[in-house]
Amino acid sequence: MKHILYKIFIGKPDYNKKLRYSAFHTYKVELKKIWNNEKHDDVGFEKMLRLVLVSIQIIFPGLHVRTLFGRFGTIGRNTAVEFFVLFKTLLPLFFLMNGLYTHPAAMIISAYLLLETLCYVASLIFVSDMFVKPRSYRRNILMLSLNYLEICLSFAVLYAGMHLLGDTPQDYIDYIYFSIITATTVGFGDMHPVTHFGKILVSVQAVMVVAFVVLFLNFFGSKVEVIHNDEE
């Protein structure tokens, strides 16, 4: 069993290369480069966006997870990141299944981790040079798929916790259903927000998810296509 787990999560031992710099060191270097325009001649809103996307990472756990487990090499960092993404995906589902979404702490945690995911996905496009080249773009698409599911589940927690859909939902499944239907822009109309804030939140989710699918999944899909053609 130990050998099987080793082969699944580690694969080739020689893949576990020691990292030259920590994620926190890369964070500081990239922030300085953007400030001094060392890589791009961006100005105005573009530079401000890049500065915000990089600087805000310090308040989220993802950067610290990569820094902490980076000392164990490439495998340690990548495996820790994968489990962290999985944890972020399952946590809002745990809140929903156990009725914890009524607690303010559950909504705050869900919103906090949701914001990290949205900033991370945006960074993959606007600050992509900060990230090391992935060992597999297919892996990145898998991680982004979990991010997509996390977004749906986190919004479901917010809808449930703030009672934004009125009395129509019967249990947590209804909130998940509504969030996924909103994310796919289908909108059957059997449930709908009953407050102004709920309408705003639904609109925000719809816009974010459309941008996520169109800009990000297609971006990495094209990378996979290039790799596939190179292999042929």
**103-155 tens-digit pLDDT:** 999 999 999 999 999 888 788 777 766 665 556 667 777 888 899 899 999 99
pLDDT at 223 over 60: no
Sign of the C-alpha dihedral, residues 33, 36, 38, 41? Answer: positive
Task: Mention every residue, 6+ apart, whose C-beta is less than 8 A from residue 122.
Answer: 53
Predicted confidence (pLDDT) per residue in 72-109, tens digit? 888 888 889 999 999 999 999 999 999 999 999 999 99
Domain ranges of the chain: 22-231
Task: Mention every residue, 6+ apart, whose C-beta is less than 8 A from residue 58.
Answer: 27
Quick one: tokens of 195?
Answer: 């407050």
- Please tell us whether the domain made up of 22-231 is placed in CATH 1.10.287.70: yes
List own/partner pairs for 224-227 with CB under 8 A and 24 or more apart: 224/137, 224/138, 224/141, 227/137
